[in-house]
Copies of this chain bind each other. A is one copy, B any other.
Amino acid sequence: MPELGDNQKTIMVFSGDLDKVMAAFNIAIGAVSMGFQVNMFFTFWGINAVKKDNMTLKGKNLIERMFAFMMPTGVNKLKLSTMNMLGVGTWMMKKRMVAKKIALLPELVEMSQQLGIRFLVCDMTMDMLGLTKDDLIDGCEEAGGVSYFELAEHSSYNLFI
C-alpha cells in the first residue's frame, strides 16, 4: 500500500444500481481531477460494477452459479434503481446520455483507472458470492475491513453509496 496522505477521499460502493454506481464514479473522477487520492471500496451489490463481462462458471458450485446467474455480469448489465420499466427507462436514459455526450459507465470505469483511482474489492463479499480475482476486471485489489478503515481514517471525505 502506498504512503497515506491525510486528505484522501474514500467511497464505499455498496449499491449495484446503475444510477448510483454512475454517481459514485462521477464523484470519484471529480475528486481525482482536483488532485486528491481517491479510493473506491466495492462491497455487496457494488461488486457487480467491477465484474468481468465474460465471467466463467468453471470451478463454481451450484449456489455460486445461481448467484452468478441472478446478478448482472459486468458494468453493461446494471439497471436503474427506479424507473427501469422492464429496461425501457434504463435504455432511454443511456440513449439520452449519449446524445448529451455524458460519459456512460464503462467509460467512467476506464477513466477512473487511468486517473489512478484505487479499486478495492471487499474480500468477504467475494467469498460470499464465490468470486475469485479472475472474475474481476484488471487493476482491482482484494481488501478486508481493516484496509478499508485505514483508508477511511486517512480520508477527509467518506461516502456510502
List A residues at the B interface (Cβ < 8 Å): 12, 14, 16-17, 19-20, 23, 26-27, 30-31, 34, 43-45, 63, 66-67, 70-71, 82-83, 89, 92-93, 95-97, 99-100, 102, 124, 127-128, 145-146, 148-149, 152-153, 156-161
Contact = CB atoms under 8 A, between A and B. Distances in A.
A96 to B, nearest CB: 6
A23 B14 contact: yes
28 contacts: A12-B27, A14-B19, A14-B20, A14-B23, A14-B161, A16-B82, A19-B45, A23-B160, A26-B124, A26-B145, A27-B145, A27-B160, A30-B145, A30-B148, A30-B149, A34-B146, A34-B149, A63-B95, A66-B92, A67-B96, A71-B83, A100-B127, A102-B127, A152-B157, A157-B158, A158-B159, A159-B160, A160-B161
A60 to B, nearest CB: 13
